[in-house]
Amino acid sequence: MTSSASRGRPDSPRVVTDSAALSQVLRKARTGGKVIGLVPTMGALHAGHLSLVRASVAACDLTVVTIFVNPTQFGPNEDFTRYPRTLEADLQMLGREQADLVFAPAADQVYRAGFSTYVEPPDVAQPLEGRCRPGHFRGVATIVLKLFHLIPADVAFFGQKDYQQVRVIQAMVADLDVPIRVVICPTVRDPDGLALSSRNRYLNATERRQAVAISRSLARAEELVRDGERCAATIHSAMRAVLTSAGIERVDYVALVDPLTLTDVDPVPDGTMALVAAFVGGTRLIDNRQLGKG
Ligand code: PAF
């Protein structure tokens, strides 16, 4: 990537690194009446991200993928510096998926000197990740709203794996009348059930085997609900037992919540979201599943 708007190899998408070049390209697309799809990412792309790109390419005339490791959504003891940055490989994958444009700005382009305005995230940001990662959703809401302004897309695509993030973005879009449609795409999983995540690459072989217990704990919850179990405490402890028996001891939360408000439910109705956040070795992973008839 050598210029602010470049197309490298013939199969790689056009890459834009500054917002002036970006708005020039997008202004043309908008006046041409094109439907614009946006896929915000932090790079280190995997098949989950590519499923979002595919959904956008299928539904929109022009697909913009953003690649930006957003510093404001990482806590002081989190993995911001270590987060995988794999731009060349990402661009190759995006070329194969026929993404049209990649916006990959430098941090000082996005957060210019003196930046001090943040989005106060909605109520759904409070529990779960909000409690475990203070400030995380303030950073997410701020960058996503900035991206929505920089890229006047018609539709934005997010993965269900980050379910609370999607709810935060949906609530923000509704509360602030942002003219964009938010589409949630299903979580993509490895064949054994592990939800794809850029952080899976931190896992060693033993941890990778343990990590599958997270999706198994969600499958156990589903099994219980399908069998008629409605007691939240019973389902919680069955889920925790699956994690513990795999050697996963550090569990941030196991939750059974209303899919819209993310408040705890008990008894557990069909449509409840089960969510887990746990450390496998030093790696914090999250996953979720809607239980019963959604
Ligand atoms: O889900 C992510 O990768 C990030 O939280 C997002 C939405 C790109 C904002 O930085």
In the DSSP assignment, the letter for residue 198 is G
Report the distance separating Cα 62 and Cα 42, nearest Å.
Answer: 20
Q: Looking at the domain 198-288, which fold is it?
A: Pantoate--beta-alanine Ligase; Chain: A,domain 2 (3.30.1300)
Residue 218 CA, ligand 1 centroid: distance in Å: 23
CA 42 to ligand 1: nearest atom: 3
Structure tokens at 87: 């731009």
Residue 59 CA, ligand 1 centroid: distance in Å: 21
List 46, 49, 136, 236, catalytic entry = 49
C-beta of residue 62 within 8 angstroms of C-beta of residue 101: yes
Q: What are the extents of the domains in the chain?
A: 5-185, 198-288
In the numeric block, the tokens 């697909």 are attached to: 63
pLDDT for res 2: 33
pLDDT for res 7: 52
pLDDT digits (tens, 9 = 90+) for 3-35: 344 554 557 899 999 999 999 999 998 999 999
Per the annotation, the verdict on 49 as an active-site residue is yes
Nearest CA to ligand 1 atom 5: 140
State how far Cα 225 lies from the chain centre: 27
Task: Supply the DSSP string of 143-160, one letter for each residue.
Answer: HHHHHHHHS--SEEEEEG
pTM: 0.96
Cβ within 8 Å of residue 112, ≥6 positions away: none
In the DSSP assignment, the letter for residue 248 is -
Which conformational region is residue 177 in: left (phi greater than 0), alpha (psi within -120 to 50 degrees), or beta? left
Backbone angles phi, psi at 4, to 5 degrees: -75, -20
pLDDT for res 239: 99
pLDDT for res 97: 98
Residue 67 CA, ligand 1 centroid: distance in Å: 9
State how far Cα 43 lies from the chain centre: 11
Q: Looking at the domain 5-185, which fold is it?
A: Rossmann fold (3.40.50)
Nearest CA to ligand 1 atom 8: 41
pLDDT along the chain (294 residues), means of 10: 46 91 93 96 98 98 98 97 97 97 96 98 98 98 98 98 98 98 98 98 98 98 98 98 98 98 98 98 98 86
pLDDT digits (tens, 9 = 90+) for 170-216: 999 999 999 999 999 999 999 999 999 999 999 999 999 999 999 99
For ligand 1, whether the C-beta of 145 sits within 6 Å is no
